[in-house]
Structure 1
Amino acid sequence: MILVFGSLNIDLVAQVPVIPGPGRTVLAPSYQTHFGGKGANQAVAAARIAGPGQVRMAGRVGRDGFGDSAIENLRANGVDAGLVVRADEPTGCAFITVDQAGENAITVASGANLAASAGDLPASLFGADTVLVLQMEVPFAQALDAARRTTAASGTVIWNLAPVPAKMNSEMVTELLAATSYLLVNEHEALDAAAAIGLAASEYEAAAAVLAKAGNLVCIVTAGAQGALAVTADGTCLRAPAPDITPVDTTGAGDTFAGALAAMIHEKVPLQTALEVGCEAAAQKCLKPGAQAGMPLRGAIAALAGTA
C-alpha cells in the first residue's frame, strides 16, 4: 500500500505576463481553480500510475465546500480518502501565478493542513509493504511520527523535503534522515539540507552524496531540464534524462515525479527505471495547466510499456 500523509489544497491560478516582484501588481484576465496540495498531488500522481485501490491519503480539510471538493476529487482519481479528516480551520489554499514561460510563484495558506495529525493513522496501516510518502506542508513533528512508525514496522519512507522550512536546522534534518529510506529534493533543497547539518557541498550532486551517506539512504535529486539523479549510501550514482519539451505549466511537476516514484518503489522496480518513469511523468504533466490535470496515466508512460 502507498500511504500519503500530507496537505490538501485548492489552487487558484492566474496566467500573468510576468510574475510580480515586491510592491508590484500585474493584471490577469481571469483565473482557474484546480486541486492541489503537495500531499494530494502526490497521491493522485501515484494512483494514476499504480492504479485504483493502491493509494490512501491522510490529512485534514475544512468543513467547507473546498473540503468537499478535495475529497471528491481524490476518490474520482482512485485514491482512498477515508483517512482525510475534517478540521475547524478552512481548507488550505494556494495562490499561484504562472508566467508566459510556464514558470510559477506560489503562496500557500495552510489552513486545515496545520491540524494534520499522525494520530489519525491506525496501527494497522504500518507494515513491511507500506510505502509512506511525506512532504513539508503539514507539521513536521506529525510527519516524523508517521515516518518513525513506518520504519519501526520495516516499511519504506519517501520524504520530499519541500518546501524547505524557513527555520530548518541540524536537528530537524538529522531526525528526518534517520527516519527516511528515500530523500527526494531538488537542486536547491539538496544544498540547503546539506548545509543545515554542516556538510560542505557547492554542487547538488555532491550534496546528494553526503546526504545519502549521512542518512544511510538513497538521495534523489530532481533537476528540471537536467533530469534526475539518485545517489545511494555507498556512493553509487544513477541518472535519468528529462524529455525535451516546451512546458506550458510546471506547477506540480515535482509532485508528479514523487507520485510516480512512489508507485515504482511500491512495485519494487529497479531504481533506474523508477527515475526514468518519474522524469517522463513529470515532463508530461508540464504540457498541461494545473497541478493535477496533466498527470499521466500508466498507459501513457513509454518506460512502462507492456506492464499492467
Structure 2
Amino acid sequence: MDPERPTHFSLLKRSEQAHKNQLYVRIRFKASFQNTMLQNEHSEVKMDAATDIVVVGCINTDLVSFVPRLPSVGETVFSDALETHFGGKGANQAAQAALLMQFRDAPSETLFHECAFSGSCQSAEGALRENGAAAATLVDNASLDAAKRRTPICGVAMVGRVGRDIAGLSFIRHFHSLGIETRGISMDSDKRTGTALVTVAHGGENTIAYVPGANASLSREHITVEPAVSLLRNAKVVVSENGIPGEISVECFRIAKEGNSQVMTIFTPAPVDRVNPEICCFTDFLLCNSVEARLLVKIWGNESIASETNVEEIARQLHEVILRTASKFPQGLRGRANVVITQGSQPCVLFANERIVQVPVAKTVPSELVVDTTGAGDSFAGSLAYFLLKMPASPELAVSRATFVAAQSVTKKGAAESYTGKRDLPDHLFQPQ
C-alpha cells in the first residue's frame, strides 16, 4: 500500500476532525457573539457620545425582486434580478437618522472582540481550508486581529430583536458601520431574523410580504431592563413603528416619557389594522399617508370619511380621534397628538400646535428618474426624527427638510443602501432658520 495515499479510514478520520473543528468554530462563534452583545467582562465597546435618538422597531432582510410590472393575482412574470438588502422599517429609520448625524470618520469596525479558531486556523480563509465553507461563512471575515476594537457612536441607538443567524450578525456589523448603538438589540435562538419579500416594478411601485421572525418575539423583558431602559429614558427623540408587537411601542414611549417629559415621540402605524390604540396616549407625532389616516379614523373613531374629504380635514379628524382615544385610558393624553400626513410628491399636511398647514415637498423627482420607492417613507421618518431633534420648535421646517432628504432615496435601488448622508446634502438643510 502506498504510504502517501490516504486510506478510506484516514479520510473518515479527517472528515470527523473537520466536523469537530467546524463545530468548535460554531460554538466559539456563538459564545463570542453573545458575549459581545451582552457586553460582559471580555467586551470593551465604549460609548463615545450621548444617544439622542432611539429607534424601536423591526429589523429585516429585504429580498427584492425587480419586475417589468407588478403581477396580477395568479399571474407569473419574469424577474430582472433578485437582490438582498438591509431592511425593516425600524432599521431603515435608524440608518437614515444616523447618516444625518455628524460623527467622525472611522474605519469599518467589527463586532468581534474575541474570536477563536482551532489548530492553525487563524482566519476565515483558514476556516475555509480546514473546516469547510459552512464554518468560513459562519465566521465571516472575523479574525483575532479584530479583538477589542472601539465602536463609533453617532448618537442613534437601535432597540429590536434579530435571530442568532448570519443575517442577524450582518445587521449588527451594518449598524456598527453607521455608528449606531446596538446594545438594545437582543437575539433569538429559535426564530430567524425577520424577512421582507419585496417586488419592485420598473416605475418604482412595490408590494411587500412581511415575515416578522425574531421581531415578533420582542417583549417587555427585552425593553424594561438595562441597557434598553437607560437608552429610552435619556433619549430626546424616540421613534417606533407597527412592525413589532403594539404593546412594545406603547411601553417604550411610556418609559421615555417617564424619564424625560420633554422627549418627542414619533409613531408610524403601518400596518394600521393592528395598531394598539393606547399608543395615542404617548404619541407626539403620528406619521402616516392619506390612506392610512382614513383607516385610522375609521378604526379608532368608528367614523367613515367621504371619499371627497380633503386631507386637511382628515388630519383634523385624526387629531380629534387621537384625543378621544387617549381619554379612554387611565393615564390620559401625555403626547401632543400632532399629525403628519404624506402624499408622495404632493404637499404633506401637518397638524401641529392647533393649526393645519400644507408643507410643500422640498424636492420632487421626475418620474423617469424614480428607480425604487422602497424605504422612502422610512427615510422621511428617520429624517424627521433628526430635524425635530435639531429644531424642536419648528415642526413645519423639520417636515419640509425631511421631504428633501427622502426624495433622494427613490433614485437608487434598495432601502437603507439608497439613503443619503449629511456630507452629500446641501449645507442649507443643516442651517437654523
Alignment check: 8 A CA contact 1:191 1:203 kept: no
Which segments of 5 or more consecutive residues in structure 2 lack a partner in the other structure? 1-51, 104-153, 324-335
TM-score by length of 2: 0.66
Matched ranges for 1:104-143 at <5 A: 104-121=206-223, 122=226, 123-127=229-233, 129-143=235-249
**Cα-to-partner distance string for 1:242-261 (whole Å, 9 max, x where unaligned):** 52213111000000000000
Q: CA 1:117 to 1:224, structure 2 compared with 1: closer, same or farther past 3 Å?
A: same
Specify the structure having the higher radius of gyration (Cα): 2
The CA distance in 1 between the partners of 2:430 and 2:284, in whole Å, is 27
| Secondary structure of 2:283's aligned partner | coil
**Cα-to-partner distance string for 1:26-62 (whole Å, 9 max, x where unaligned):** 1113311100000000000010112342100011110
The CA distance in 1 between the partners of 2:407 and 2:258, in whole Å, is 35
Alignment check: 8 A CA contact 1:2 1:130 kept: yes
Alignment check: 8 A CA contact 1:220 1:231 kept: yes
Give the drift of 1:141.
1.0
Give the drift of 1:226.
0.3
Greater mean deviation of Cα atoms: 235-244 or 92-101:
235-244
| Secondary structure of 1:227's aligned partner | strand
CA RMSD of superposed structures (Å):
1.8
Among 285, 289, 292, the residue aligned to 1:182: 285
Greater mean deviation of Cα atoms: 5-14 or 48-57:
48-57
Q: CA 1:239 to 1:199, structure 2 compared with 1: closer, same or farther past 3 Å?
A: farther
Q: Partner of 1:261 in structure 2? A: 384
The CA distance in 1 between the partners of 2:160 and 2:395, in whole Å, is 28
Greater mean deviation of Cα atoms: 234-243 or 30-39:
234-243
| Residue identity in the other structure for 2:391 | K
| Residue identity in the other structure for 1:205 | E
Q: Partner of 2:405 in structure 1? A: 281
**Cα-to-partner distance string for 1:150-171 (whole Å, 9 max, x where unaligned):** 2233122100112223x55xxx
| Residue identity in the other structure for 1:225 | S
Q: Partner of 2:315 in structure 1? A: 208
| Residue identity in the other structure for 2:399 | L
| Residue identity in the other structure for 1:157 | T
The CA distance in 2 between the partners of 1:152 and 1:238, in whole Å, is 33
Q: Give % identity.
A: 32
Q: Partner of 2:267 in structure 1? A: 159
The CA distance in 2 between the partners of 1:9 and 1:135, in whole Å, is 13
Give the drift of 1:212.
2.4
The CA distance in 2 between the partners of 1:58 and 1:141, in whole Å, is 14
The CA distance in 2 between the partners of 1:129 and 1:18, in whole Å, is 43
Alignment check: 8 A CA contact 2:342 2:349 kept: yes
Which segments of 5 or more consecutive residues in structure 1 lack a partner in the other structure? none
**Cα-to-partner distance string for 1:171-190 (whole Å, 9 max, x where unaligned):** x33x1211101110011111
Q: Partner of 1:8 in structure 2? A: 59
TM-score by length of 1: 0.92
Going by fraction, where is strand more abundant, 1 or 2?
A: 1
